[in-house]
Homo-oligomer: A and B are copies of this chain.
Amino acid sequence: MKSNILPKALTPGQAAARAGLSVSALHFYEREGLIHSWRTPGNQRRYDRAVLRRLGVIKTAQNLGIPLAEIREKLSALHPEDPPNKEQWADVASDWREDLSERIAKLTRLRDALDGCIGCGCLSVSKCPLYNPDDKAAQHGTGACYVESGGEPRDPGSA
């Protein structure tokens, strides 16, 4: 630690520590076009403090299972260095909000299904939604679709 005043630029180590990531991950994200840095005369990376927000968003989104490619796409709406303006950010955020809501709904449906299973001894084939593929799914070929409810079937190749 060299000082307590907020530095205007972050070294890789600082950025990594503050984002809770490894330096190699920062390199990786940069190669993948998710973040941006500039160099010192001695060729070392420096990051704008704004990178921390990007990293926060990246980490968070990843945590949700959103692949980096998709994160990059959403983030590409924001200028790589400039602080994003309100509109841009709002667009990204509301896009993700929808995504999030969908995921929440899906998990909630599943949890409810699981609740049913726990409570009712529904192993009797006819009621348990987790058991159901057995009886119903043969009709359209995909299993466990009760939890998808609107997702694309994703034909896995064989039949």
A interface vs B, CB < 8 Å? 13, 16-23, 25, 49, 52-53, 55-57, 59-60, 63-65, 83-86, 89-90, 93-94, 96-97, 100-101, 103-104, 106-108, 110-111, 114-115, 117-118, 121, 123, 130-134, 137-138, 141-145, 147, 153-154, 156-159
Known interface pairs A143-B52, A153-B20; A114-B130 also in contact (CB < 8 Å): no
Bound-complex Cα distance A156 to B106 (A): 31
B97 near A137 with CB under 8 A, answer no
In the complex this chain forms, how many copies of it are found? Answer: 2
Judged by DSSP, the binding face of A is helix
B93 near A103 with CB under 8 A, answer no
Can you list 26 A-B contacts with CB-CB less than 8 angstroms, sorted by A residue number?
A13-B159, A16-B159, A18-B138, A19-B137, A20-B133, A20-B142, A20-B144, A22-B156, A53-B130, A53-B131, A53-B133, A53-B134, A55-B144, A56-B132, A56-B143, A59-B144, A83-B123, A89-B117, A89-B123, A90-B117, A93-B114, A94-B118, A97-B114, A97-B118, A100-B111, A100-B114
Closest B residue to A128 using CB positions: B53
Residues of B close to A143: CB separation below 8 A = 18-21, 52, 55-56, 59
